[in-house]
Amino acid sequence: MSLPKVSPSSIIQISRIMRPDDANIAGNVHGGTILKMIEEAGAIISTRHCNSQSGEQCVAALARVERTDFLSPMCIGEVGHVSAEITYTSRHSVEVQVNVMAENILTGAKRVTNRATLWYVPLSLTNVDKVIEVPPIEYERKQLEDEGRKRYDDQKLERMETKERNGEFIVPVVNPEQYTVGCSQSSLIHLVGPSDCTLHGFVHGGVTMKLMDEVAGIVACRHSKTNVVTASVDAINFHRKIQKGCIITISGRMTFTSNKSMEIEVFVDADTLVGDTEERYRAVSAFFTYVSLSKVGKPLPVPQLVIESEEEKKRFEEGKGRYLQSKAKRQADTQSLTQQ
């Protein structure tokens, strides 16, 4: 038997069997489970790359995840394969592209379930506020580098714009009417433990995304009262790190409904209970889109959101904008997939 081979340093593959705890009661694997696997693959490959040249040791921290579509849900017993590849590097950040496939090892059937793009920033292991320089990658063609640079500039611009949105909070409603925002809004609390964290002692982005998906799923299920699955996640920016020992509050509220989908806005707020500087701050926010599924897995119509205030109306219109935009983009992507 020949010596073991690890994949070349610019590709990694994570595979595992989906278990009952990864899934909802209908047996569909939570989108959050997939997001956590995707982020683990991204963290491994970008940390490996950023330490590949001699110099200060660092750990790659997730800075942003681009919009991600969930093309079809995985099921318990299927094997999920997540493969990640570094596709662009700027001076201080790494772009990782990830493909997720579901394999039914009984029938042999395989299908693509996700693609995702993540941006990482390498932070010094000894001084977590210091960003390390990223070793450049080599591109097969000049065009790939140019396209990467364009994606880098686009996301940088968008990250600045979204910094504005963080003033809002979810205020509890007493005795809400059915199908209103107040009726389905939910929040959960998590005490950050050691296994949630990187070598730095800061929460893995994937752990945060898994919790965000969980609260979004509860909001969607409360609204539709059916089995629900994650259809997509809008771009997520990780503005601030969350330290071990923090308490995080993850809150979600419905912002928009189309005929067959629900958009949920999710906020993550961190509390440093014990520590030098006690403080509460917004760490992350994002929009999740859920669909309702029948017992045989067919999309169901969803009850329309009942709007009660001017603010809710404004958020609904913005959600509609995102919905129409992503619908257009998805159609374009599907076409390009078909043509490959």
Return the residues of window 244-303 that contact its own copies according to CB under 8 A.
244-245, 247, 249, 251, 269, 271, 273-275, 278, 280-282
CB of 263 to its own copies, least distance (A): 18
- CA gap 214, 339 in Å, rounded: 35
Q: Which is nearer to its own copies, 99 or 258 (CB)?
A: 99
Tell me the window of 154-162, 185-193, 298-306, 318-326 that interacts with its own copies (CB under 8 A).
185-193
Q: Which is nearer to its own copies, 219 or 323 (CB)?
A: 219
Q: Which residues of 31-65 are buried (b: 16+ CB within 10 A; e: fewer)?
A: bbbbbbbbbbbbbebbbebbbeeeeeebbbbbbbb
Q: Which is nearer to its own copies, 130 or 321 (CB)?
A: 130
Q: What SS3 class is residue 305? A: coil
The answer to whether residue 61 forms part of the interface with its own copies (CB under 8 A) is no
Helices (H), 3-84: 31-50
CB of 319 to its own copies, least distance (A): 22
Q: Which is nearer to its own copies, 267 or 323 (CB)?
A: 267
The answer to whether residue 227 forms part of the interface with its own copies (CB under 8 A) is yes
Among positions 160, 189, 324, 328, the unique one binding its own copies when judged by CB under 8 A: 189
CB 233 within 8 A of CB 68: yes
CB of 61 to its own copies, least distance (A): 13
Measuring CA to CA, how many Å separate 114 from each of 64, 72, 189, 263?
Answer: 17, 8, 28, 19
Q: Which is nearer to its own copies, 263 or 269 (CB)?
A: 269
CB 238 within 8 A of CB 205: yes
Q: Which of residues 14-33 bind its own copies (CB under 8 A)?
A: 14-17, 19-21, 24-25
Give the β-pairing of 94-103 and 262-271: unpaired
Among positive and negative, which fits the CA dihedral 252, 257, 258, 260? Answer: positive
- What ranges make up the beta strands (E) of the chain? 11-17, 58-65, 68-70, 79-89, 94-103, 110-124, 186-191, 227-233, 236-238, 247-257, 262-271, 280-293
- Give the closest residue to 113 by CA, choosing from 79, 62, 148: 79
Active site residue 237: no
The answer to whether residue 171 forms part of the interface with its own copies (CB under 8 A) is yes
DSSP conformation letters of 140-174: SSHHHHHHHHHHHHHHHHHHHHHGGGGG------S
The answer to whether residue 188 forms part of the interface with its own copies (CB under 8 A) is yes
Among positions 10, 90, 162, 226, the unique one binding its own copies when judged by CB under 8 A: 226
Among positions 34, 35, 58, 266, the unique one binding its own copies when judged by CB under 8 A: 58
Among positions 218, 229, 242, 302, the unique one binding its own copies when judged by CB under 8 A: 218
Active site residue 114: no
Q: Total residues at the site for its own copies (CB under 8 A)? A: 91
CB of 44 to its own copies, least distance (A): 5
Among positions 4, 91, 335, 338, the unique one binding its own copies when judged by CB under 8 A: 4
Say which of 22, 69, 196, 213 is annotated catalytic. 213
The answer to whether residue 167 forms part of the interface with its own copies (CB under 8 A) is yes
Q: Which of residues 96-125 bind its own copies (CB under 8 A)?
A: 97, 99-101, 103, 105-108, 110, 112, 115, 125
CB 61 within 8 A of CB 198: yes
CB of 109 to its own copies, least distance (A): 10
Half-sphere exposure (Cβ direction) of 268: Cα atoms closer than 13 Å: 30
Among positions 76, 235, 300, 307, the unique one binding its own copies when judged by CB under 8 A: 76
Q: Which residues are catalytic?
A: 24, 213
